[in-house]
Amino acid sequence: VSPTDFPRTADQRVYHLGLRAGDVANRIVTVGSPSRAQAIAAFFDKEIKPFVLSSERGFLTITGRFKNVPVSVISIGMGSANMDFFVREVRECLSGDMVIVRLGSCGALIDVPVGTVVVPRASVSVTRNVDFDFGSADSLESPYRISRPVGTVSGQRCLHSVNLAQVHADAALHDELQKALAIERPLGFEILTDTVNASADSFYSSQGRHTSFPDHNEHLIDKLQASTPGLVTLEMETFHLYHLAVCWRGRQAATRMSPLTERLVEPVISLPPASVFPTTSLQLASPETVIRAAAVHMVFASRTSQEFITPNQVTELERWT
């Protein structure tokens, strides 16, 4: 890989997240906002001071231990582009498997109350079609595209018929999340599982919201629901996470579960000159590894009732998820 293909700094840090081998754990919770990352990191073991790195591009990484197991929380902002930076750059900093859980907000396309927690097993992608003439609407193209359904079964890549699964979460990780949330769920909160999510490339046009722009999205939600059985949530990141995990497995299907590193991630307060850093002997980004991905969505907005979550509800929801 040439320097222009995958740039790193002189001290071997990836270009946008600012991380290098040793800064990040194999088990990762990814969120959108730094405040949510800090709230999760508050549950880390208190005996070891966490490593905290905030990159110039706005990515925040906090690495510590939870019940003596190394864990990182990384806030990435919004959208598939930032999810792409995160997955690709962290993959190049790790040996062994990656386990990624996205914890983020979403809108609900069915009639459920705000504060509902959803664990999607599959996702489709919704993108604005730039070949459509949005100015005049005189076009043979459709203004939006919904992805072809690609799924995974036991680590193998497969193509299903249009009305079946899309890109899938890791089945075992999805089920473990489902069990853990069921144990922690307070009274009054609902959990939906085995659902389908849609990830849009815009908060506005590709999610069917109406603004002053001529987006020609009046029928988008109806079309999306008609073409995607089991669709419950709409957000901006999960499809790309699941998609990259599927692509990585497609390089070389793993025949065994690679061990996750248990190396202690030492906290870094100030950085010495690059020359004092030893070159790692670990094989990073090995094709024999897998990326196991799943997501937990918190319903912040109901697209059916137009209800929006309150700050107090957000605090309570984030506390137990």
217: helix, strand or coil = coil
Read off the pLDDT of residues 144-190 as tens digits, 9 standing for 90 and up. Answer: 999 964 433 334 433 333 333 468 999 999 999 999 999 999 998 99
User: Residue 278 corresponds to which tokens in the numbers above?
Assistant: 């030893």
142: helix, strand or coil = coil
pLDDT score of 174: 95
User: CATH 3.40.50.1580 occupies which residues in the chain?
Assistant: 104-254+290-321
Secondary structure string (H, E, C) spanning 44-81: CCCCCCCEEEECCCCCEEEEEEECCEEEEEEECCCCHH
Distances (CA, A) of 124 to 93, 121, 152, 191, 307: 28, 11, 13, 21, 24
What's the CA gap between 94 and 43, in Å, rounded?
23
With respect to CATH, is domain 104-254+290-321 assigned 3.40.50.1580? Answer: yes
**112 DSSP assignment:** -
Mean pLDDT across 247-253 = 63
Mean pLDDT across 213-236 = 94
11: confidence class by pLDDT, cuts 50, 70, 90 = confident
Read off the pLDDT of residues 256-305 as tens digits, 9 standing for 90 and up. Answer: 433 444 444 333 333 333 333 334 445 777 878 899 999 999 999 999 99
pLDDT score of 4: 78
Read off the pLDDT of residues 79-91 as tens digits, 9 standing for 90 and up. Answer: 999 999 999 999 9
Read off the pLDDT of residues 44-56 as tens digits, 9 standing for 90 and up. Answer: 999 989 999 999 8
Q: Are 114 and 233 in contact (CB under 8 A)?
A: no
What's the CA gap between 176 and 245, in Å, rounded?
18
pLDDT score of 103: 98
61: confidence class by pLDDT, cuts 50, 70, 90 = very high
pLDDT score of 286: 80
Distances (CA, A) of 168 to 137, 139, 244, 292, 316: 34, 33, 11, 10, 29
**271 DSSP assignment:** P
What's the CA gap between 198 and 212, in Å, rounded?
24
Read off the pLDDT of residues 104-146 as tens digits, 9 standing for 90 and up. Answer: 999 999 999 999 999 999 999 999 999 999 999 888 899 999 9
Of 157, 164, 131, 166, the closest CA to residue 145 belongs to 131
- Please report the sign of the dihedral spanned by the C-alpha atoms of residue 130, residue 133, residue 138, residue 144: positive
Phi, psi of 296 (to 5 degrees): -125, 120
User: Amino acid identity, residue 243?
Assistant: H
CA 243 to chain centre: 10
pLDDT score of 15: 87
